[in-house]
Each structure stands twice: as structure tokens, then as C-alpha cells.
Structure 1
């Protein structure tokens, strides 16, 4: 049986974890209903790190219900679709100032000359932030074009070949 670490060690999964500008975070809101939001993040080599305002609805909701699901995906056709799926528990920590992970995550989508102004604006805006760390408890990497499919599709393909 493959582990979360095995799935995430695949070179394409590693590339996506490092380079994708956004992930989709699934969690239950404070009212108990599901949410999925796109959000910037940083992969630190072992966990996903998301930073947000202390007053954000997601911080309040995750403090009550920390179980999350994450999708990082790319591709515009079925044959070039790739996805990293992660499940885990969010660990929340309120920190003074702007966490470096927030700035590092933003670097993925900014020209280097834009980063100092962004960092200065964040320092003015945030006295504190919430650092949300998600360590994968379960993970899967799919690459449809390369044949890395969900188990049920692999089984169907195998059965079709046997006919």
C-alpha cells in the first residue's frame, strides 16, 4: 500500500506542490456546511502552509473543525489533467506580523521587483496573522495522460482489456 509520502514524492507531484499558484481548500464553515476556496500557499517540503487574517471566516471555522481536503490541479483536457489530492488536519497558530511563508507563497506569482512593495503593504495591514499548517495524512497523485488513474478507473480499464 502506498503512503501519502510515496504519492507526494513523485517528481510531478513535487513540481506541482512547489510551483502551482493556488490550491483549493475544502473545509466545513462555521455553520457546518462545506466550502471550497482557492487560496495561495507554500509547500515547505513536508506540509502546506496557508496564512490568513486573524478575522477571516476560514480561521474561525478551522479552529472548530480542522479537518481539510486540498486539491492542486492543472491541465485543460482530460489527457493532460494532473491532480495532487491531500487530506489532513489544519494546525492554526497566531503569529505577530507577517509570516515569511506568506511572502514566499506570493513570490510564486509576482515579479521579483514587486515583492518589496507587497511585503511593505502586508506589514502595514497585518499586526498578526494565522499560520495554517496542513501535514498530509493521506495523499494521491493523479496524472491521467501517464495512466496514474483513480483505482476504480484502473480497475475498469483492466476489465475492459480482459474482454
Structure 2
């Protein structure tokens, strides 16, 4: 997939990314089996940033196998369902203190007072965090209310169903 195509897909998902703070990260664990874990994320405009403790099992696994998938979803009905699927490679950096994007992602879902309390608590828990940056190498935005943004196989099924 070309960089312009990736940018177009992610741009189409900008409202989803602005309104959603959680995603699912898919990777291959140290034992060679697949994992999908819920994560908070922040989109910087160039990369998705996920943060965790440097000792987290996923950090070691991602260092060994840096190819990942990330899925951001929203909507409880067929008319409101949207999803951004991303594939990419991670770059891990251990930072002293708290990853700034970690706090930005948390603030998106909290009021000022709650965010301040959360940050104060987090600063007592983490001396360091692993900043997991995902640079997209492929992306696709699905909007199930828009026939042009449904997966191609569903478009074909709808077209041949006579509905």
C-alpha cells in the first residue's frame, strides 16, 4: 500500500480517531501464539502510540516480532459501526517518567479533575514507560453505513443479493 493511500484511509477515520481512546493490538507473543489485547492509544498524525510498563510481556514479544495489527472500532448498530484496521511495525523506546501521549489519550475520556487525579496516580506507579510507536504500513477504514466503505466481500454479497 502506498503512503498516500494509507494517509487517505486514516484521514477518512479522523472522526473515529478523535472520539475513540481504545483499540485492540494484535501481535505474536513470545510463545509464538497470537494475542489481541485492549490498549489505549494516541494518534500523532504519523504514528499510533501505545504505552505500558517496560516489564510488560508484550514489550519483549514486540521486540522479537515487531509486526502488529491495530483495530479501532466504534458503533453499536450496523448504521453506526466503523472500524479502522492498521498494520505496521513498532518501535519501542523506554522513557523516564510517563509517555506524554499516554496522558493525552487518558485526558480524551476524562474531565479536568479526573485527568489530574489520574496523572498524579500514574506518576506514583511508573518510574518508566515503554513508548510503543506503530508506523502504519497498511490501513483501511470501514464505515458500514457507507456502501463504498464496507469490506469488498460485503459489497459483492450485497450487490449479488438483489437487496
TM-score (norm 1): 0.91
Within-5 A mapping of 1:40-79 = 40-79=40-79
Q: Does 1:36 align with 2:36?
A: yes
Q: Which position in structure 2 is the counterpart of 1:87?
A: 87
Q: Which position in structure 2 is the counterpart of 1:144?
A: 144
* 1:95 CA displacement: 0.7
* 1:41 CA displacement: 0.9
Q: Which position in structure 2 is the counterpart of 1:102?
A: 102
Q: Does 1:9 align with 2:11?
A: yes
* 1:155 CA displacement: 2.5
* 1:118 CA displacement: 1.6
CA displacement 1:8-58 (0-9 Å, x = unmatched): 111xx1011122020011111111111111111111112110010011011
RMSD: 1.7
Q: Which position in structure 1 is the counterpart of 2:134?
A: 134
What SS does the corresponding residue of 2:98 show, helix, strand or coil?
A: coil
* Number of equivalences: 160
Alpha carbons 1:28, 1:34 under 8 Å: kept: yes
Alpha carbons 1:18, 1:42 under 8 Å: kept: no
Cα separation, 2, equivalents of 1:81 and 1:113: 31
Cα separation, 2, equivalents of 1:134 and 1:44: 10
Alignment gaps of 5+ in structure 1: none
* 1:89 CA displacement: 0.5
Cα separation, 2, equivalents of 1:144 and 1:124: 42
TM-score (norm 2): 0.91
Cα separation, 1, equivalents of 2:65 and 2:26: 11
CA displacement 1:46-71 (0-9 Å, x = unmatched): 21100100110111111111111111
